[in-house]
Chains A and B, each alone.
Chain A
Amino acid sequence: MRHLLGMDDLDRDRIETILERALSFAEVSRREIKKVPTLRGQTVVTLFYESSTRTSSSFELAAKRLSADVVSVKASGSAVDKGESLKDTIETLSAYDPAAIVLRHPHAGASHMLADWVDASVINAGDGMHQHPSQALLDIFTLREQIGSLEGREIWIVGDVLHSRVARSNIIGFQAMGAKVIVAGPPTLIPRGIEATGCEVRYSLDDVDSADVIYLLRMQHERMDQNFVPSIREYARLFQLNSRRLGPRQLVMHPGPVNRGVEISSDVLDCDQSLIAQQVASGLVVRMAILYELLTGSENFAAGQPDSDPVPIGEPA
């Protein structure tokens, strides 16, 4: 595997491989010295055309924990601000001979184009409303830590599915791991024909008590201006996950950033059933695993590195 562009690139075996690798990095992360020398001498470029806190910081830290040199470029304050095209920006950054480029871009397919242009491994860190595969992988990892196998579990993805790349990646990922996926939200925010992906559609939370996991999506305020929902108040009344709707054994997830009091009530957000903090922690080790698999994985001979378990710096190899 050379690139990670979308969850449709991964079968269950590949997902398992990445999750197992992430598990070994989780162990490293609990040690005093959290750094391994795997990518020493290699360069990882992160290029973010959209604002991001979680994804950009965790990819950066993941690359640094693997001892890579990291170049982080944000659209604002760079040549991109001055109208430089994606292709020209990439050409410039390619001069550093990066082993991997992590790209977030407001347009679907940007990372696919990049993969055609460069020799580096390309990691899609979110492209428009299309895909966000590292998010789906960290969500699966988080769930596996909590409940073991996803086989036969019922996962509800609730809210603005239409505009959500997280939903598109997770529908594929959760189903690949054997879960049953139900999407719920107002019809204006459920894309037409989504049943073709194998999920079911609900327009209310009346039956949400059958869910093992409730995965909430961020309700973006600008959607209200475009009349996708008549009012945030009504949306919250119909689709907010609050303690009245949440059953005692159900788990709650959210990709962040959260709108307290809109898609989720504060008490649910802060309760023990919420896995939101674990998701962020998983983000780091899963992104380390993604970089590791792409840059040193057994199929990538170009990297010229053995496919062995990572050994922390300071320990005998």
Chain B
Amino acid sequence: MNRGPETVEQPLPTPLVQRPGPPASVLIVGAHVLDPGEGIDSTHDILIEDGRISEIAEPGSIEPGEGVERVDGSGKHVFPAFFDPHVHLRTPGQEYKEDLETGTRSAAAGGYAGVLAMANTSPPVSSPADIDALRHRARSEASVPVGFLATVTRDMAGLELTDMAELREAGAVGFTDDGVPVVNPGILRKALQYQRMCGGRIALHEEDPALTAGGAMHEGTVSMELGLRGVPSISESTMIARDAAIAGYEGGRIQVQHLSAIESIEAVRRARADGVDITCEVTPHHLCLTDEAVRDLDASKHKMNPPLRSEADRQALIEALLDGTIDCIATDHAPHAVEEKEVPYEAAMMGVTGLETAFASLYTELVLPGTIPLELIVEKLGCGGEPFDIDRFRVAEGQPASLCLVDLDAEWTVGEHGYESRSRNSWCAGRTLSGRILMTLADGQVAYRLRSFSLGVA
């Protein structure tokens, strides 16, 4: 039950920052435009002038002006660009894994025009100066707009709150100790009380360390046979139930990150039915893989937290995406260096990269077999900013151009030509996927184009 007082919102800095660049002038001719939010699902010409969508018209009806790049969109799709509320850009401190430049380039290559960076860097993003510095760097390095979350507790130690109000004033989009849970319920309660004053959704990595107890993979038949310590599903669901109860009592707003288990979905449904302001996300790898994949003991592809769970869990996640229980798809893009991954499974770091493959993996594994409709995937990849009060991108006249051009029929082998990311721990490595991002426009700039995909100047 939501018993908390009303939240007071204040005017704040723009949540997302990007490297300035020349505004795009592009005419996309005859592409199939699919924007579920705008209700568009048909073939159009799209004219982008000075970074804005100036005209959407019948195919063949627009004559490009001088200096406008003409792109043949026939047989291709245009989607509103995607938004990922959960990526690890590893800056500051772990630039050997990823940095703002490589991470946002990776995002652009995946069709994203906005990402939210987690705060578990080294040191963690805990002070207004940290947020300032990151936003400053993003203005010279980020090829797509990026927003930064700050930690809930100082240095993620779980003991005292950060200066949440000042962090918001400095531009923190929200708060998270992602990587670890907020173990102490008293601290979380105070953060949710404070949120009434400063705003900003709190994103929660839900895991009870006493139940995880050093587990390396999902607790089930596979972990039993492999002799790996298991992480039971209840490690996640009991924390969700606890935190939802606290959020309901305080009228707080929480985002449950990377939902993985049946019990967790049930906990979210119950909380929402009780009126709690709870949103949640799911990753492409939890929608496509199960703990059976761990049998190859390849930590580079198959070790992450939360772990890959059972087929029943995967089916329940698909069901929850279809029925709206799950709000959005987030990659939890977690780059790690080779020497952190090419070690025995139990010793390897947790996390896989996902930005460059999110759409193609979901299209190949779930849309092509008919499990999930294309428009739902496009919508759920696009609406990840909404829990953080960031509007989704729209293919509509007058809007800044944040869209991607996609060839659904193009097949490609992941990793064959390397990655835009600095790391290569992709869960899709070596897979052949359908659906290739040809070009991404992010807030009016061309943020990415596939090397072999040339644009002709009219």
Q: With the chains together, A87 CA to B224 CA distance in Å?
A: 26
Identify the closest chain A residue to B294 (Cβ). Answer: A109
The 6 closest A-B pairs by CB, nearest first: A109-B297, A107-B344, A129-B227, A130-B227, A191-B224, A110-B344
A168 touches B344 (CB 8 A): no
A130 touches B228 (CB 8 A): yes
Report if A41 contacts B (CB, 8 A): no
Report if A30 contacts B (CB, 8 A): no
Residues in A with CB closer than 8 Å to B343 are 85-87, 107, 113
Residues in A with CB closer than 8 Å to B228 are 108, 128-130
Q: With the chains together, A71 CA to B230 CA distance in Å?
A: 36
Q: With the chains together, A87 CA to B340 CA distance in Å?
A: 12
Q: Tell which of A12-20, A193-201, A205-213, A250-258 binds the partner.
A: A193-201
Report if B454 contacts A (CB, 8 A): no
Q: How far is the CB of B241 from chain A (nearest CB, A)?
A: 21
Q: With the chains together, A66 CA to B207 CA distance in Å?
A: 52
Q: Which of B339-376 contact A (CB under 8 A)?
A: 339, 342-347
The secondary-structure label for the interface of chain A is mixed
Q: How far is the CB of B230 from chain A (nearest CB, A)?
A: 7
Residues in B with CB closer than 8 Å to A109 are 226, 297, 344-346
Identify the closest chain B residue to A117 (Cβ). Answer: B342
Q: With the chains together, A131 CA to B227 CA distance in Å?
A: 8
Report if B219 contacts A (CB, 8 A): yes
Interface residues, chain B, CB within 8 Å of chain A?
A: 219-221, 223-230, 297, 339, 342-347
Chain A contributes a number of interface residues (CB within 8 A of B) equal to: 23
On whether A196 and B224 interact (CB within 8 A), knowing A85-B339, A109-B297, A113-B297, the answer reads yes
B225 touches A168 (CB 8 A): yes
A194 touches B224 (CB 8 A): yes
Residues in A with CB closer than 8 Å to B347 are 107
B339 touches A165 (CB 8 A): no
On whether A108 and B344 interact (CB within 8 A), knowing A128-B227, A130-B227, the answer reads yes
A192 touches B342 (CB 8 A): no
B220 touches A193 (CB 8 A): yes
Residues in B with CB closer than 8 Å to A85 are 339, 343
Our pick among A87, A112, A193 for the contact of B297 (Cβ within 8 Å) is A112
On whether A86 and B344 interact (CB within 8 A), knowing A108-B297, A192-B219, A192-B230, the answer reads yes
Other contacts beyond A86-B343, A113-B343, A193-B220: 15, CB < 8 A: A85-B339, A87-B342, A107-B344, A107-B346, A109-B345, A110-B344, A112-B297, A113-B342, A113-B344, A127-B344, A129-B227, A130-B226, A165-B227, A191-B223, A193-B224
